[in-house]
Structure 1
Amino acid sequence: MAHTADSTFFGHFRNLLRARLKFDTFLILRFGPEGRPEAHDYWLADPSLRRKYPDQYLDGAYRLDPFFRHRDQVAADGMFRLADIAPDRFFAGEYYLQYYQQTRIRDEVGFLARTADGSVAHLSMSRLDGSGSYRRRELQCLRHFSPLISELLRQYVSSRASGQVARPVTRAPRPLEELIRAHLRSTRATSLTPREAQVSALILQGHSNLSAAFALGISRETAKVHRRNIYRKLMISSQAELFALLTDLF
């Protein structure tokens, strides 16, 4: 607690949590209102991950990250497990297959804590293949200490932000659906409707037709029609092909 405002905090924080459970990655990020996350500190047990992680994440993969997508949906600080907040088809989607499997992440737990400047502080702790999933007693321990962990995380990220040069005022980031529409207009000369772009974004995140319909407040049949129209316009037949067309965004 005494070190939340200095450079030794990250090591103390990591060692505190490693005394209770095993993890292979430990990252602290800031999800700011200006869009692209900032990586404050990270530790990776496997040095080979540094070639793609977290750089690949910060270059665009974050746009489909369940924790990044969840940042505006949380009513209070807390701990979340990837499997609990990911869309229903996330683990069969191209983002998981092409990004998460490259990092070899087996299980991930994240903390989200809001800061006074409107940002969200994020702590990610992952286990890689070979380490197994988090056990129930470990998750119970993290949930029990969640208020303390969240507050330490908030204080540290807030301290880092206050010590930086004031950020220039920037425009709010374009929503993913707008990026999708613009990208397809420029690369495929294809125009999706705003609703089709919303459905496309949800498909890429790993939502089924039913889950996408629930998120948008429409019927499952309407979501299926939008999906069919998207595939027809782009002359594709699968989520994998849609991801391939938009891979430059991620």
Structure 2
Amino acid sequence: MEFQWHDLAFHREIGSAIDALDGPHFWARLTRVLERHISFDSWVALRFARNGPPLVCAEQALPDGKIDLLFQDYLAALYQLDPFYLAAFEQRVSGFYTLADVAPDNFKMTEYYQRYFRKNIVGDEVHFNVLIDANYTMGFSLGNMRRYDEREVALLTLFSPWVLALMQQRLRYENFGAVPGASEAAEGGQHDLPARFGMLTEKSGRGALTAREIEVAMLSLSGFSSRAIAEKLTISFETVRAHKKHIYSKLGIGSQSELFALFYEPGLHPFAEGSEGDVTTPAGHR
């Protein structure tokens, strides 16, 4: 068997990533192997939790030590609308996923897409997900300012067995009790949606949202059309419409934009009117 010089280099790079499995530079080494063959603009390794915000295992550094404010918003609450986060606990299987694999039918019409994804990731995203247990999944995200082409997706699919195997081995060395980069913004408890929506409906005096209404509200915010929600929940289209009518009435709102505004209440920097021009977020960062 004859090898080209780039074949030998590739195997040497994988060896370097394996050698770093128990050290602090594993994720950077793994990224370096992939970027020799695939073009991408950002990366982050996360541990998704079913009942809480993600923990950041490692992420691409920003120039001059800047803080990615949009990413802090993601960690605080917006992760709940991330199709990769939702797929991690719905499919419950390790594997390689493209945005096309997991995005709902109306994803590009959502406030999440328009006000976060399109501004922060810009073009496309893929994930390597490793199931830890019923409540946790490790995800390794590669974001791109443009759409991945067929060759790149084919290569990533080809690489996925050894990438996932390395991630599985890495689990024993991750300190999830003290993960660097875990967001302080997540401490506000905004992920407790029943309590949050309950507080909002209590103020309106129109009765609390039911568990099913909260489920419909979150699916709608995530980008599922009414017909897709009906199919997903095995209920009729008219029942979904009725749920939406009750949701809007109880919350005292009249649009999806208003629902999104209630879902995520801005702090000092997120999405506040007039604030977007003051936030510097390098394009393509997660």
TM-score range, shorter chain: 0.7 to 0.9
Runs of 4+ in structure 1 over 4 Å off: 44-49, 162-165, 173-177
- Determine which of 220, 226, 232 is the counterpart of 2:249: 232
2:121 is the counterpart of 1:96: no
Structure 1 residues 225 and 30: CA distance shift in structure 2, 3 A: same
2:101 is the counterpart of 1:87: no
Letter in 1 for 2:194: E
- Where does residue 150 of structure 1 map in the other structure? 164
Q: What's the RMSD between the two structures over aligned residues?
A: 2.8
Letter in 2 for 1:76: V
CA distance in 2, matches of 1:149, 1:41: 16
CA distance in 1, matches of 2:211, 2:134: 31
- Determine which of 122, 130, 135 is the counterpart of 2:149: 135
Contact 2:50 2:89 in 1 (8 A): no
* 1:18-51 deviation line (CA, Å, top 9, x unaligned): 0111111110001135521100111157779843
Structure 1 residues 116 and 219: CA distance shift in structure 2, 3 A: closer
Aligned residues: 240
2:206 is the counterpart of 1:182: no
* 1:152-205 deviation line (CA, Å, top 9, x unaligned): 12222331137869xxxxxxx998652453242355444222222221111111
Task: Give 1:237 deviation, angstroms.
Answer: 2.4
The equivalences for 1:1-250 within 5 A come to 1-33=18-50, 35-43=52-60, 50-115=67-132, 119-128=136-145, 132-161=146-175, 178-190=194-206, 191-248=208-265
Q: Report which structure shows greater RCO (CA 8 Å, sep ≥6).
A: 2
* 1:88-125 deviation line (CA, Å, top 9, x unaligned): 11110111111112314210001110136952110000
Contact 2:76 2:191 in 1 (8 A): no
Name the % identity. Answer: 30
TM-score normalised by L of structure 2: 0.75
Task: Give 1:230 deviation, angstroms.
Answer: 1.8
Greater CA drift, 50-59 or 146-155? 50-59
Contact 2:92 2:134 in 1 (8 A): no
Secondary structure at the counterpart of residue 228 of structure 2:
helix
Q: Which has the larger radius of gyration?
A: 2
Secondary structure at the counterpart of residue 224 of structure 2:
coil
Task: Give 1:212 deviation, angstroms.
Answer: 0.9
Structure 2 gaps of 5+ residues are: 1-17, 180-188, 271-286
* 1:204-228 deviation line (CA, Å, top 9, x unaligned): 1111101111121101111111112
Task: Give 1:5 deviation, angstroms.
Answer: 1.0
